[in-house]
Amino acid sequence: MAKNMGLIQFSGTIGGITGVNSKEGHHIRAKKDIPASTYATSPSYVDFRENGKAWGESSRLRKSFLDGFKLFVQGCSNPRMYSRMTGVMGRIIKSDTVSRKGEFKAVNGIVTEKGKEMLNGFEFNRDCSLSSVLHETYVVDRDSGSVSIDGFVAKKWIKAPKGATHVVLQAGIYRYDFGNGVSSFMEGEGVTFEVKSKEVNDLVFDVGIPEGEGTVVFLLRVLFFQQVNGKLYALNGVKGGCMKVIDCC
């Protein structure tokens, strides 16, 4: 799609020309009609058909995957998280090493190391990532279902946004079956600190492993609050919280 550098910029479609505004600037593209029968049968469009099928499956998987812990995501993601997660699901599908081209499945891709790597480390909020907020090493125990942080000091290890007076750390563990979409989720109790606290704590989030079959995903989130008249209010906007996939197995 071309980038419009001229004086006239518009959004929508005029005379077969579509204008689109994005973070990368203003783009225009010409409409190109392809007969449905040609698109469905022509060898020239086989890659387009396969990509369209994969994108549709990726979108369906993204929705199914996130639905299992959607309340836990609230307050710690940015608007583009959904499209980025769709891309992750697409890469998991393409990690399938046993199916024929055009018939790749996420359930076969996620069992590979490459497939797990696509999901592991996913930041739900790139505008306020966990990696930029929490400067401490955490340890995941896959057997017990726990996350621990030794020698945690809020003032030293948390980079809080402007206006935040308190921070809450919380872990969650999610099990998702990429074959049938069945999921289960467990969350640990959140721990609250003043962002200027110099107290040293050894934190252990004992969550447990959810029952069922499928991939186990470890999540760690940080939420920021402002104290007003003795009450804590969640910080609004993209700087209010973050979450990351810190392990999957």
Are both 106 and 157 inside the same structural domain? no
**Residue 183's domain is classified under what CATH number?**
2.60.40
How much of the chain exceeds pLDDT 90, in percent?
70
Q: Supply the pLDDT for residue 54.
A: 62
User: Could you tell me the two tokens for 194?
Assistant: 């003043």
The residue segments making up the domain with residue 144 are 126-248
Q: Among all chains, which residue has been given the structure tokens 């929490």? A: 134
Rounded CA separation 59/190 (Å): 31
pLDDT tens-digit readout, 131-188: 999 998 899 999 999 999 999 999 999 999 999 999 999 999 999 999 999 999 999 9
Domain boundary among 55, 90, 119: 119
Domain boundary among 95, 119, 143: 119
Q: Supply the pLDDT for residue 205.
A: 96
Are both 70 and 178 inside the same structural domain? no
Are both 190 and 234 inside the same structural domain? yes
Cβ-based neighbours of 99, under 8 Å, separated by 6 or more: 105, 108
Are both 136 and 195 inside the same structural domain? yes
Are both 65 and 25 inside the same structural domain? no
Kindly report the backbone phi and psi dihedral angles of residue 143, in degrees, each rounded to the nearest multiple of 5, phi listed first.
Answer: -75, -45
Q: Which residues of the chain register pLDDT less than 50? A: 1-5, 38-40, 42, 44-49
What is the number of structural domains in the chain? Answer: 3
The angle, 0 to 180 degrees and rounded to 10, between the axes of the packed helices 81-94 and 46-67 is 120
